[in-house]
C-alpha cells in the first residue's frame, strides 16, 4: 500500500466519497491547528504519525458527522470566527477532476431539527476557495 493510501485509508473508510485532490495534497503535506482564514476556519490537522487527528476533528460532533455524511457532505471547516456552521465538500457536485462545490450548512438545523439545510455556496470548488483565500490574505 502506498503512503498516501495508508494515510488517507482510515478517512476513506468513513466518508462517502474521495476528497478533492488539492485537499488531499494539503492534508498530506502540512499539519495545523484549527486556523481562521477569514471566510472559514479549517478544522485541525494536527501533527502526528497519521491523519487520525484530522479524522477526529471532522467527526468531533457525532450528530453533525452522521447527518452530513448521510447526505453526502464531508465537513472540513466551519464558518469564520465563532460561526459553528459546517463548511463541507458537496460530493454530489463532483467535477471530472474530483473537485466539488463548497457549501455552508446550518448547524442548528441539524442539532435541533435533525435536518441538513444548505445555507449557501462558499465556493464553486475547493480550488477556487483556496485561490480566493490566498487573494484575500494578500489584501490584508
Domain ranges across the chain: 3-139
If you search the block for the grid coordinates 473537485, which residue do you land on? 99
| DSSP for 26-84, written as a single string | HHHH--BS-EE-SS-EEPPB-SSSSSHHHHHHHTSSHHHHHHHHHTTEEEEEE-STT--
Q: If pLDDT is split at 50, 70 and 90, which confidence band does 58 have?
A: very high
For residue 52, how many other CB atoms are within 10 A of its CB?
13
The whole model's pTM is what?
0.93
- CATH architecture for the domain at 3-139: 3-Layer(aba) Sandwich (3.40)
Write b or e for each residue in 53-70: b if 16 or more Cβ atoms lie within 10 A of its Cβ, otherwise e: bbbebbbebeebbebbbe
Please write the tens of the pLDDT for every residue from 87-102.
Answer: 999 999 988 899 999 9
Please write the tens of the pLDDT for every residue from 66-76.
Answer: 999 999 999 99
Q: If pLDDT is split at 50, 70 and 90, which confidence band does 1 have?
A: very low
pLDDT at residue 69, as a whole number: 97
pLDDT at 65 over 80: yes
Q: Percent helix, strand, coil in the chain (nearest 5)?
A: 40, 20, 40
Strand pairing category for 102-105 and 41-42: unpaired
Amino acid at each position: 500500500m502506498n503512503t498516501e493510501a495508508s494515510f488517507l485509508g482510515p478517512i476513506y473508510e468513513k466518508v462517502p466519497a474521495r476528497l478533492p485532490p488539492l485537499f488531499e495534497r494539503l492534508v498530506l503535506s502540512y499539519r495545523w491547528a484549527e486556523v481562521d482564514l477569514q471566510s472559514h476556519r479549517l478544522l485541525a490537522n494536527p501533527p502526528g504519525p497519521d491523519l487520525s487527528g484530522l479524522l477526529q476533528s471532522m467527526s468531533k460532533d457525532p450528530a453533525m458527522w452522521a447527518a452530513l455524511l448521510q447526505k453526502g457532505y464531508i465537513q472540513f471547516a466551519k464558518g469564520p470566527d465563532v460561526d459553528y456552521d459546517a463548511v463541507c465538500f458537496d460530493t454530489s457536485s463532483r467535477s471530472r477532476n474530483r473537485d466539488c462545490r463548497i457549501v455552508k450548512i446550518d448547524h442548528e438545523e441539524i442539532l435541533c431539527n435533525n435536518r441538513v439545510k444548505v445555507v449557501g455556496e462558499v465556493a464553486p470548488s475547493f480550488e477556487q476557495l483556496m485561490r480566493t483565500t490566498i487573494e484575500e490574505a494578500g489584501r490584508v
